[in-house]
Chains A and B, each alone.
Chain A
């Protein structure tokens, strides 16, 4: 049995007994076999002695039990690491930043405490998954949508506090933005409610975020200042209808006005679904055409590619836009969007998919198929339907006979402009060449549009069963983080393996941000028991180690 760093076996043993008294013997896991299940299933340290492991896990069922566990941990200086559903695959799974921590597994706290159709909001505990909430809503026939990330088995709370995102309207798909009100057990066991939750008797905890005074909710995301035990979220009332349409533009340089017009349409709320950028030269379905592949393989010039696009009767770039709302209104919005995009000479348009809600079972099946084989404009998350279809991309298939053991995401934020996309591709292609990565051969890639004010690249680096291959991947990853930062691009989120490196890039004014975070850490959690090292925030006694 492992013991947490700096804790005697005797103290650890006592603490485990106290944990058992608090939560019940069967909910304290200390055998190697059980504790092993808290490794990161997609660890970039897979097979390496440095792979992050827990010393034990404790699974409370109530807020009072969480408080009791935290108090015991404080008494014996035991590092604890809270997780909600622990499905943070690609960004660290359920493993703690600091090996030897006791994972506080909140999966059993899975109550949907309050749901309001009138207010379109919900208050949940950490163990509630997107699947759970979706089923709950369906069973009751409520006209509410949950904005879901690709994998449906994660939790509203775990996903939001790690700054996750989904696919519907901008005010819902940024999951931390869509929350309203939190409850937190602080490192000393005290219980805190934020926003209107701080006002006894308030009925607007899920209606107004700020209360009065500083809005501290952000402190409890990507951090280690407490254990979140409740969170409210705003839900999307089921709209009447949905529509997609695609614009194609002919020239390479058209990307710049294309993005600018898209930004205008999104920032004015005309386009209120998540747009998708496409390109003949990368990331699209057309890339598999032999003629185009030959052109790309011999490094054809921009002019040649433009000519190919013109002859083949398709654009160099495309943008699919999506609309939610009343049928007439969204048809008018698509017409208006076409007018705006028509400022680009040679722009052409294709009408896409349209749905009225609720979806039928057959429609859900069709959308699932279109998502799995990449032929649809829409995917289940566009309709707030949770699934695990996304795992198709990495799983074994005819075209992928040697699947990896998962992946880790490299996901830098870049500016929302066509120039930035072109520049990012140049920089990453150059870096890939230099680092010997196959990314160079993948051609041009387009960013994700989760965040309506920025772009984000998402590259999945495969996890290998070979520790040496994983070591090389870590090196390349860290190098890419640095290269991105040199261009002003920073990771929005990262696995514990890279959190120190990433935190180091946010270095304005001699790391003023980290220094501030450390001062908070020392004040709120002087014994440094909660999630030591999370996003580069270490307790005083572990700094510089």
Chain B
């Protein structure tokens, strides 16, 4: 009886653990997708190095108060990323859903989130 209870318990624990790790890897997969979306759609303007107009603009805007690289920011809440991507700002146009789907935008926002 006791044995079977332990078994039952550990079985439950194993289940919970499995759930936890698959949630973690789902999170990894989302961020991985987010990084892919970033590389495809944002990197040419917001990447590191010369000739990246987004990075240069944010350097001029924040003057060192915040990182010029949006990948290094710790204040880009998902709502903020979503708003900029769907509204655009200055020369950065907004993106259509055939370019960045809602699911991809969620992944991108998760990737850029603190």
Could you list which residues of chain A lie within 8 angstroms of chain B, going by C-beta atoms?
27, 29, 34, 37-38, 41-42, 57, 59, 86-87, 89, 93-94, 105, 107-108, 131, 152-153, 365, 368-369, 371-373, 380, 387-389, 391-392, 394-398, 400-401, 403-406
Contact = CB atoms under 8 A, between A and B. Distances in A.
B98 A105 contact: yes
Interface stretch (B1-9, B15-23, B47-55): B47-55
Contact of A406 (B44, B52, B93, B96): B93
A59 B98 contact: yes
Interface in B10-62: 40, 44-45, 49-54, 56-57, 60-61
A394 B91 contact: yes
Nearest to A151: B44
Contacts of A105: 96, 98
Contacts of B86: 37
A22 to B, nearest CB: 16
A151 B45 CA distance: 11
Given A27-B98, A42-B93, 8 more contacts: A87-B93, A380-B51, A388-B44, A388-B53, A395-B53, A395-B91, A396-B61, A400-B60
Interface residues of B, number: 25
A73 to B, nearest CB: 18
Contacts of B56: 372, 392, 395-397
A41 B88 contact: yes
A94 B44 contact: no
Given A395-B57, A397-B57, A398-B60, A369 B50 contact: yes
Nearest to B90: A403
Contacts of A394: 90-91
19 contacts: A27-B98, A29-B97, A37-B94, A42-B93, A89-B93, A105-B96, A365-B49, A365-B50, A371-B51, A387-B44, A388-B45, A389-B52, A389-B53, A394-B90, A395-B54, A395-B57, A395-B90, A401-B60, A404-B90
Nearest to A29: B97
Contacts of B54: 395
Contact of A372 (B51, B61, B90): B51
B99 interface: yes
Contacts of A400: 60
A37 B51 contact: no
Given A387-B44, A388-B45, A397-B60, A41 B94 contact: yes
Question: A-B pairs with the 6 shortest C-beta distances?
Answer: A41-B93, A372-B51, A396-B57, A369-B50, A389-B51, A395-B53
A38 B90 contact: no
Contacts of B90: 394-396, 403-406
Given A396-B57, A397-B56, A387 B98 contact: no
Nearest to A401: B60
Residue from the set B53, B54, B88 with the largest chain A CB neighbour count within 10 Å = B53
Contact of B99 (A34, A107, A152, A372): A107
